[in-house]
Structure 1
Amino acid sequence: MDALQCKLARTMLGLTVIETANLCDVSHETIRRIEAGDTTLKEKTIAKVRAAFEKAGVQFIEENGGGPGVRLKKRAKSVEEISKQIDVLEETISSIPTPTAPSPKAAMGTMRKAVAEDKMENLKARRKRISHDRSK
């Protein structure tokens, strides 16, 4: 982790220097020194700060031709969030009228309903997997 990666990670998490120091269990001066590029810091101190950032969801991108960087891990949706999406899809499906006569509008409604039902089934399967994994 270099100075810029430290500052970017802190900024991505929306933390002040003091909040970052608390998160990493180091002094705020240590965070300032890392961000200033101080090379006299112990490697274990930098590793401790990096580990705290990683635990908070930061991924460090090593030099790959475009320079080193950081990004946030994609957060997995919770069972509650998935359930809310399922509820919305159920409402959407129930609001699509059943066609009474063939027409382009009726065909589009049938298609929208089929897509929503497919998405809902996928979400239900995902919710079941997450629930099953948490019960282990």
Structure 2
Amino acid sequence: MITGSQCRAARALVEISRSMLAKRAGVDLISIERFENITGSLVKREMQDVKRALEELGAVFIPENGAGHGVRLKFSNVAAERIAQLECEGGIVANDRVP
């Protein structure tokens, strides 16, 4: 799952307002405000809907890995192609391209 801080950061990265996120995710605006301000929480379905909406806009959530959790943007097609050229060492490749 994601944290309120990750939600707030992802919203800033994809440049979407709370009200637009609420509409896209089908979640009450007040619930998102409380979640981001750490004064409330979302039920599992709401959190999944918020996460999905932000991911569709290009956010990638980084789970806790001992150094903390985070969020970043997916790579653009140009950047993803350049990285693919540089990697050239095989292995599993994830879809990091923004739609």
Q: Kindly provide the CA deviation profile for residues 79-103 of structure 1, in whole angstroms up to 9, marking residues without a partner as x.
A: xxxxxxxxxxxxxxxxxxxxxxxxx
Unaligned residue ranges in structure 1 (runs of 5+): 78-121, 123-136
Letter in 2 for 1:71: R
- SS state at 1:9 partner: helix
Once the two structures are TM-superposed, the CA of residue 51 in structure 1 deviates from its matched residue by 0.9
Task: Indicate the residue corresponding to 2:76 in structure 1.
Answer: 75
Once the two structures are TM-superposed, the CA of residue 11 in structure 1 deviates from its matched residue by 0.7
- SS state at 2:68 partner: coil
Q: TM (normalized to structure 1)?
A: 0.52
Report the Cα distance in structure 1 between the residues aligned to 2:57 and 2:15, rounded to whole angstroms. 11
Letter in 2 for 1:46: M
- SS state at 2:64 partner: coil
Question: Relative contact order: is structure 1 or structure 2 higher (C-alpha 8 Å, sep ≥ 6)?
Answer: 2
Q: Which runs of 4+ in 1 moved over 2 A?
A: none
2:12 is aligned with 1:11: yes
What does residue range 1-136 of structure 1 map to in structure 2 within 5 Å?
Answer: 1-37=2-38, 38-39=40-41, 41-77=42-78
The number of residue pairs the alignment matches comes to 77
Would you tell me which structure has more helix in proportion to its own residues? Answer: 1
Letter in 1 for 2:73: L
Unaligned residue ranges in structure 2 (runs of 5+): 79-84, 86-99
Aligned alpha-carbon RMSD (Å): 1.6
Report the Cα distance in structure 2 between the residues aligned to 1:31 and 1:43, rounded to whole angstroms. 13
Q: Kindly provide the CA deviation profile for residues 36-92 of structure 1, in whole angstroms up to 9, marking residues without a partner as x.
A: 2213x3111111100111111110001112211000000214xxxxxxxxxxxxxxx
* CA radius of gyration, larger in: 1
- SS state at 2:77 partner: coil
Identity of aligned residues (%): 32
Q: TM (normalized to structure 2)?
A: 0.69
